[in-house]
Structure 1
Amino acid sequence: MLALVLGVVSALAAASTAQTAWAQPLVRSQVWAWGYNVFGQVGDGTTTSSITPVQVAQGAMPAGTRVVAISAGGNHTVALDANGQAWTWGQNNSGQLGDGSTTSRTAPVQVAQGAIPAGTKLIAVAAAVGGEHTVALDADGRAWAWGNNSFGQLGDGSTANSTVPVQVAQGAMPSGTKLTAVFAGRFHTLALDTNGRMWAWGNNFYGQLGDGTTATRTSPVQVTDGAMPSGTKLVAVSAGWGHTVALDSEGHAWAWGNNAYGQLGNGTHTGAVTPVQVVQGAIPDGTRLTRISAGSFHTVVLSDDGHAWAWGDNYDGEVGDGTGIDRSSPVAVVQGAMPEGTKLIAIACGDFHTMALDEDGQAWGWGYNLDSQLGDGTYTSRTSPVRTSQEEMPDGTRLVAIAAGLHHSVALSESVDHPPTVEVAPGGQVVSDSAGTVNLVVGDAETPAGELTVSAASDDQSVVPDAGISFGGSGADRTMTVRTNSQASGTAVVTVMVSDGDLTGTATVTVVTGRSRTDHLTGTDGPDLIFARDGNDVVDARGGIDLVAAGAGNDAVLGGAGDDTIDGGLGNDALVGDAGNDVLSGGAGNDGLVGGLGDDALSGGAGNDGLAGGRGADLFSGGTGNDIAIDFSAGEGDTRDGTIP
């Protein structure tokens, strides 16, 4: 006797039965850039500027590298991958690419290890608008920096440039301080620690370090409270040309440094060497701010309901209020070309332009556009939001991050490649007493079913040789025929594999081979293909989609709940389909067939048969012999052939 017990394995986490498992979807990323490209900062392998987004080349990144974060500097770009490795491209005159050289690059190169210990994983990167240095944070809360160090912005206690990463010194930070975020300004650098304290170093000509002085620092000093209440915890920071802005845990904005254009947002044009509170301006009472970004001389914030507010320099429309008037307190960014109800989720300020990302993954831009850093296909500056073109992107591309440099912009998209699925379908066919064909349905969310390849492997070649497994069908509807070794008995697990070329979905098939004698076989609660060879057999298929061939002999077969196909074969058979849509064929002999709940087809074959349809639309065929058909629920679409009274 042979039994094939099929356990369905879906590649997606959709079902929760004991037979179901899944593979993780593959998340793919792609970096896009546009605007000024004289130094290769767009990263497409050229120095040709682009008026719409183009795909950043692979460069030195291994195939399949997943980028998880991006940042844009003056004329360079930095990206962080899922393995904690940094990649850079663009201008490199001060070593801001960190590859150990001062050679500009038009495609990604790997940041050298420098002073970073082997095995260190970076978790954040930042470059400065207009700046020529880069800073990174590792998983242990340490900061690293490279590039221009004219004002001590690398924080290593010196003013020497570095073409590879150097560690930011402890400076005034207490021993054991763990940093959680880093930010780069034009000539200064900032960091937050686990306690919500801010640390700063570099140029301090305008008081942008916030320590109450205008003294430049080559290692970290603490930003003083200034007007902030004692115990204020900062959660977000950004830095411009000569000013710094921050958000606290209550959603309030603070600023310090240069204020020539009102970029501090406190209603004045007076600079500050310690934090001052951004006034409410046009922001409604109770609004909670969640994101903040500083351009060279302007500042933009997002509220928790997806609205943008801005202040500061507005000569090129970078404030986005539909005018070119500088603002010293917050004004609302107007709707512009954005559909009504658009909710913004990310913001990034460049030199004189602003980029935003909405919850649908669409980018918007406003402000200076003479290098097409807005990506709308024009060179026209805008005083209100315009849509960044996505014509070069595949249909359905969803942007998940945005960054703005001096005169270029960068975006990150992600797509999910779902593994193929394979499941057993009702039906199937008995081929012989040692072989059977089951129906499979294959699919993939991204790949046409006809392009999927199906294969299988057995873990016991003596029971089921790989050569005995074959496939048929096309498109989504496939068949698998399993031919066992008719002389062997035992168990083999056959793994069915459906591949889209990158990911694979699987189904497991347990093959149980019995002997030609009296057997008692029990299936599973999942789909079963059970063969009973010659002999008096008792088969309990249990639940699921079952295909049972009882073989010659006096057999008792219970299909169980599910869609069952049961062939009693020669002999006196008692076949019970139970709940489900069942096909019961008694074959020659005196048979008792009970369909149970569902739409059943009962064929008694030769012999004296008793056919009980149960509830559902049943088809009775008695065959030769004295047959009795019983319909437990008449009037539900039952039909009978002419031999049944």
Structure 2
Amino acid sequence: MLSYDGKILGLKDRREEGLNRKLLFPALALVLCLGLTVPAMASTGTVNSPTAVSAGSDHSGLIDANGSLWMWGLNEEGQLGNGGRGNAKTKGDFTYQTVPIKVLNNVVSVSSGGKNTAAIKTDGSLWMWGENYYGQLGNGTTKNSLVPVKVMDNVAAVSLGGSSVTSGYTAAIKTDGSLWMWGANDYGQLGNGTTKDSLIPVKVMDNVASVSLSEFRHAAAIKTDGTLWMWGRNGQGQLGNGTTKDSLVPVKVMDNVTAISLGALHTAAVKTDGSLWTWGFNEGGRLGNGLKGTKNIIVPEKVMDGAVSVSCGGSHTAVVKADGSLWMFGNNGMGQLGIGDTGNEEMNIGHGDFYVQTVPVKLMDHIAFVSSGGNHTIVVKTDGSVWLFGRSSNGNLGTVKGNGVDIYNNAMQTTPVKLSSLRARN
């Protein structure tokens, strides 16, 4: 069987690709961005800004003003860190948690992946929990952990890759600027020149300011000189180097980059002049370039100006502009754009019709931070209030039940709803 990028697939990949194809429209399970991917925000010479909220594939994390970490959503592999694999009240396996639960104190940054989570404490120690089938917890084993376990010290930033249906991997930047990676490596996403998984952290490069990992096995790092380096899977041109050939080692893509975020199969970067550039798989409008169809964009293309940060979900993208406004584009089949059950184009994948947005559209003002999950989005305003929208059927929006259903009959919330129980650290 062939995948999207023409590779011959084995049994594991066929299983993943089949499910991914089903979920990709309208709901590709992440972060992507995401995993899910954590938006990397860095100015030249500094490491990732501490991340106060993080949307994973089907779970979420938030740090409040006191430094307490709260988690909610799906918990089938212990990704909430509450000591079980289900709801804190019932303890039933594979149930989800709608009411946020406190997991850790003294936390400065959080990253939610496919089925695992990572947090950095105020003392620089890195703690991880959840799924560990590929060694993505970095503790030398492949045994899941239902509670946080300490992995390493002197950590400044962390990002988790993989999704609910793809293998997980992890990247951490130490305070000395060195980048360390571990976990699954089937497409060379660890950047160490091999395709062998690693159960322990392996040093990849130095002088790193920011890092972001994708759900579907590609990685990116911004160095302290503002250069962007990428590696891993490249079947849709998501590395931006003009080819569709995977790379087992970092390759330089562009200069003067301040922010980077990876979706499942696409990439977005902000340059020092505030311009936003996107590339990779364009189905569902996730590149924001106005194009229809599935054309791969294999080199960076400019999409808009005035950007300061970006967060890519599985198949959608969120951008914060310098004036604090939030702009959205891409797949809206599960309400993950927050613009209602609408868009500027319709798509049909055989299960029904849904909307996509192929050009950026303004959603909200006064935004401090945004995190895009596989099929949901979390927004923090400058007053610390937290707003959520997108898929809600696995508790990833907390107590928000949703205002509609998608073509797969999953509950979704198509407009922003305030999380009344918590406020995020600004």
Which residue in the other structure is 1:121 paired with? 106
Q: 2:276 aligns with which of 304, 308, 312?
A: 308
3-state SS of paired residue (1:208): coil
* Alpha-carbon distance in 2 for matches of 1:364, 1:161: 37
Once the 2 structures are TM-superposed, how far is the Cα of residue 162 of structure 1 from its aligned partner? 1.4
Identify the residue that residue 339 of structure 2 maps to in structure 1: 376
Larger radius of gyration between Structure 1 and Structure 2:
1
Counterpart residue type for residue 292 of structure 1? I
Name 1:181's counterpart in structure 2: 157
Q: What is the match of residue 108 of structure 1?
A: 100
| Within-5 A mapping of 1:52-451 | 69-103=52-86, 104-111=96-103, 113=104, 121-128=106-113, 131-168=114-151, 178-186=154-162, 187-224=168-205, 233-240=207-214, 241-278=216-253, 280=254, 288-324=256-292, 325-334=295-304, 343-379=306-342, 380-388=355-363, 390=364, 398-415=366-383
Name the SS of the counterpart of 1:371 in structure 2: coil
Q: Equivalents in 1 of 2:115, 2:176: separation in Å?
A: 29
How far 1:68 sits from its partner (Å)? 7.3
Greater Cα shift, 269-278 or 375-384? 375-384
CA separation in 2, counterparts of 1:306 and 1:77?
Answer: 28
Whole-Å Cα distance in 2 between the matches of residues 317 and 415 of structure 1?
A: 31
Residue 101 of structure 1 deviates from its aligned partner by 2.0
Contact kept? 1:191, 1:199, Cα under 8 Å? yes
Gaps of 5+ in 1: 1-35, 40-66, 114-119, 171-176, 225-231, 281-286, 335-341, 391-396, 418-645
Shift of 1:77: 0.8
Q: Match for 1:327: what amino acid?
A: I
Shift in CA distance, 333/221, structure 1 to aligned 2, threshold 3 Å? same
Q: Tell me, in whole angstroms, the C-alpha distance in 2 between the residues paired with 1:188 and 1:416.
A: 30
1:316 match: secondary structure:
helix
Whether the 8 Å contact between 1:68 and 1:81 is mirrored in structure 2 is no
User: Per the alignment, do residues 158 and 416 of structure 1 end up closer, same or farther by CA in structure 2, a change over 3 Å counting?
Assistant: closer
- Shift of the alpha carbon at 1:180? 0.8
C-alpha contact 2:313 2:375 (8 A) present in aligned 1: yes
With structure 1 as the length reference, what TM-score do the two structures score? 0.46
8 Å CA contact 2:51–2:110 kept in 1: the answer is no
Deviation digits for residues 425-457 of structure 1 (CA, Å, limit 9, x no counterpart): xxxxxxxxxxxxxxxxxxxxxxxxxxxxxxxxx
User: Would you say the 8 A contact 1:311–1:330 is kept in 2?
Assistant: yes
Cα offset for 1:195? 2.1
Counterpart contact for 2:187–2:232, Cα < 8 Å: yes
Instruction: Give the CA RMSD over aligned residues.
Output: 2.4
Report the Cα distance in structure 2 between the residues aligned to 1:155 and 1:315, rounded to whole angstroms. 34
Instruction: Say which SS state the counterpart of residue 236 (structure 1) adopts.
Output: strand
Structure 2 unaligned residues grouped into runs of 5+? 1-25, 30-49, 87-95, 163-167, 343-354, 386-426
1:290 to partner: Cα distance: 0.3
Runs of 4+ aligned structure 1 residues displaced above 4 Å come to: none
In structure 2, give the amino acid aligned to 1:262.
G
Corresponding letter in the other structure for 2:306: K
* Identical-residue share of aligned pairs (%): 38
Q: How many Å separate the matches in 2 of 1:184 and 1:416? A: 24
Distance 1:361 1:133 in 2: 31
Whether contact under 8 Å (2:51, 2:111) holds in the other structure is no
For residue 206 of structure 1, report the CA deviation from its aligned partner. Answer: 0.6
Shift of residue 188, structure 1, vs aligned partner? 0.4
Cα distance change of structure 1 residues 165 and 402 upon mapping to structure 2, 3 Å threshold? same
Q: Within 2, Cα distance between the matches of 1:409 and 1:178?
A: 30
Task: Find the residue that maps to 2:285 and give its secondary structure.
Answer: coil
C-alpha distance in structure 1 between counterparts of 2:300 and 2:263, whole Å: 15
Name the aligned partner's letter for residue 101 of structure 2. Answer: V
- Secondary structure in 2 matching 1:210: coil
Letter in 1 for 2:148: P
* Alignment-mate amino acid for residue 331 of structure 1: E
Q: Is the 8 A contact 1:71 1:78 kept in 2?
A: yes
Q: Is the 8 A contact 2:129 2:147 kept in 1?
A: yes
Checking the alignment, whether the CA contact within 8 Å between 1:68 and 1:82 is kept in structure 2 is no
Q: How many angstroms apart in 1 are the aligned matches of 2:59 and 2:145?
A: 16
- Letter paired with 1:246: A
Give the 3-state SS of the residue equivalent to 2:379 in structure 1. Answer: strand
Q: Conserved in 2, the CA contact under 8 Å of 1:293 and 1:348?
A: yes
The 3-state SS of whatever aligns with 1:381 is strand
1:191 Cα offset (Å): 0.3
Q: Which has the higher contact order (CA 8 A, sep 6+)?
A: 2
CA distance in 2, matches of 1:138, 1:315: 38
